Structure 1
Amino acid sequence: METNTFSKFSAEFFGTLVLVLMGCGSAVIAGANGATGVGLLGISFAFGLSVVAMAYAIGHISGCHINPAISIGMVVAGRMKAKEAMVYIVAQILGALAGAGILLLIASGKEGYSLAVNGLGQNGYGDASPGNYSLQAGFVAETVFTFIFLFVIFGSTSSKNIHGGFAGISIGLSLVLIHIVGIMVTGVSVNPARSIGPGLLVGGIAATQLWLFIAAPILGSVLSAVVWRYALERK
């Protein structure tokens, strides 16, 4: 039975909400609690496990994109119609804003929390980078990491892949790997919605730097889709 548009919209909304709430929440709530914090490795796994969980929760409904870069990549790869992708992208951005909003409500319940100081796990480069990496480094990292992420997604979800039932695991673990390597560069986005949600609520430099976390992931996804469609899975 074909899933209707509202169901797909709802799935992408709630899936992205969970990704932002749990992924960014791990950084804001659990990541910096001194000796009891989960650390960078824990944050990396929080993002990856969120994708794994949602892949098996909503994958059969919408495909579990929960990322505009994935939806755009699917269009370029010929796996999705542009009109449907637009519905997905709207749902993803709204879901990310909702997830960031819930995180803010929870985090602000702790005495001493400051949105300006503690943030919501937003991405950044230059002075806003966790490791003070430059704009150029951030753009290259986000483009290449998104390329790799989409590469794994295309391969894992290919009709030719006999292990397709494990796609959620491979995709989630690839996101963990990307975070382990790149979290100090930009905090890792590879997902415009994931950056837009926290970035808009935090405002300031986080909002002015959003262009990179929209442009670079989209560029990486398009490049990956072109390579996959015309070089690797040519008919």
Structure 2
Amino acid sequence: MKKLFAEFFGTFWLVFGGCGSALFAAGYPELGIGFAGVALAFGLTVLTMAYAVGHISGGHFNPAVSIGLWAGGRFPAKELLPYIISQCVGAIAAAGTLFIIWTGKAGNAINNMQAGAFASNGYGAFSPDGYSLQSAFLAEFVLTFFFLLIILGATDKYANTSFCGIVIGLALTLIHLISIPITNTSVNPARSLSQAIFTGGEPLTQVWLFWAAPILGALLAGFIYKTLLQKNDNEDTSNN
């Protein structure tokens, strides 16, 4: 249960911090943090929770990460569903908290006909810059693929894992710097689902892509790392 609570709180913080920065601070007149600030906020949520509870649960905070670690032989199948449920519940709880805060200001309402409403993800007319379904799918697939490669490499027993939380947090920051204009950046099915539930409308019908693309990218990364990149115990680690 401690692992599941750690995943709940870690995913809550990721959604609350990342999506909250997009809702409250990104476009604030003259002092707004913009895309770069939101990207950094997402990275900081993962970095801080990796060190806070990563030693308890492994610090996944993302169904795609759990699935990718399973594909890479780093996570048992029997724990997948409980982790994913905890992550989704944490994300939805964070989105609900954000909704209460957001609607506490006069005039604030969710316009689910607008791209990026309530920090939701989308493609086509619901992409921040109008990117197609194909572009959105490819971006989410590729970015999640590399995110998992980074996670698998940074946490490998042959790596210097002391700084893996920093590496993974910066990787997520870079991912957001690339893709906020494309999809508003997901690479995390729980994060997409939570915002789409409160947004409703077309963003909710498009949430399938933000489950399918990240999961497929994570599966491929796990398979490739395990079969092509991971060193065996009998290999000489001094050889390249």
CA-CA distance at 1:221 after TM superposition: 0.2
CA-CA distance at 1:109 after TM superposition: 1.2
2:124 is the counterpart of 1:126: yes
Q: Determine the C-alpha separation between the residues in 2 that align with 1:181 and 1:79.
A: 28
Q: Determine the C-alpha separation between the residues in 2 that align with 1:68 and 1:113.
A: 31
2:85 is the counterpart of 1:90: yes
1:150-203 C-alpha deviation (Å, 9 max, x unpaired)? 011000000000x20100000000010011011100011000001000111111
1:131-153 C-alpha deviation (Å, 9 max, x unpaired)? 11000000000000000100110
CA-CA distance at 1:234 after TM superposition: 4.8
The root-mean-square deviation of aligned C-alpha atoms, in Å, is 1.0
**Mind listing any 5+ residue stretches in structure 2 that lack a counterpart?**
233-240
Verify the 8 A CA contact 1:25 1:120 in the aligned structure 2: no
AA aligned to 2:117 is G
1:8-56 C-alpha deviation (Å, 9 max, x unpaired)? 1100011101100110011111111121111000000000000000000
Verify the 8 A CA contact 1:100 1:120 in the aligned structure 2: no
AA aligned to 1:64 is G
Q: Which of 219, 223, 230 is 1:222 aligned to? A: 219
**Mind listing any 5+ residue stretches in structure 1 that lack a counterpart?**
1-5
Which secondary structure does the structure 2 equivalent of 1:210 belong to? Answer: coil
User: Which residue does 1:3 correspond to in 2?
Assistant: none
Q: Which of 189, 195, 198 is 2:195 aligned to? A: 198
Relative to the length of structure 2, the TM-score reads: 0.93
Q: Determine the C-alpha separation between the residues in 1 that align with 2:106 and 2:28.
A: 14
Q: Which of 61, 76, 79 is 1:66 aligned to? A: 61
CA-CA distance at 1:91 after TM superposition: 0.1
Q: Determine the C-alpha separation between the residues in 1 that align with 2:111 and 2:63.
A: 27
More helix by share: 1
Question: Number of residue pairs matched?
Answer: 229
Relative to the length of structure 1, the TM-score reads: 0.95
Q: Which of 105, 120, 129 is 1:110 aligned to? A: 105
Which secondary structure does the structure 1 equivalent of 2:130 belong to? Answer: coil
AA aligned to 1:165 is S
